[in-house]
Structure 1
Amino acid sequence: MKSFKVVSAFILMLLIVSLAACGSTYNQSSTGEYIDDSVITTKVKAEILNDPELKIMEINVETFKGTVQLSGFVGTQAHISRATQIARSVDGVVAVKNDIRLK
């Protein structure tokens, strides 16, 4: 009976540790957050590609905990503003960091 309690306690500790490993930290997102960020990135990229002004531009999109970072090069300041506007319009976007530069 004593060994059953020890084994049960060990299994419980393993479960707690494995669940804690799935949680997020300041520098790392959880599995669920990573999937959400991937969906946001895909939606922003699709919207940019569907925009007639921006679809030929070199714009990179990355997302971390709902914050979208745009980078790359475009031809005009209007394209930078348009990319920011598109990113902000996507559901799930918390903030947008725009590092797009003019060519």
Structure 2
Amino acid sequence: MIILFVCSRNQWRSATAETLYKNHPYHQVRSAGTAASARVKINAKLIIWADLIFVMEKKHKQRINERFAAEATEKEIIVLNIPDDYQYMDEELIAEFNAKVHEYL
């Protein structure tokens, strides 16, 4: 499965998820952000590429659906409800991913 993780700036949450799952034997993983200041900005090509999209907050799903309606129409976008309260590779953030993403993998 091809998985895209999305947060706002692609610095802490989605970047952590990409690091955690990038060496998974059955999945390809990337991450991106919805903000103009994102390290890697979400784009149509990434949305088309992904089989499954995990977003950290509802606002990220809304932004994807607003800006990339055609590309996101038939994509499964899962809201993880992980607030922007963590640093990159924070132990609590890793625990959140393990709890919330595991059932989809």
After TM superposition, the score normalised by the length of structure 1 is 0.28
Query: Which structure carries more helix by proportion?
Result: 1
Greater RCO, CA 8 A, separation 6+: 2
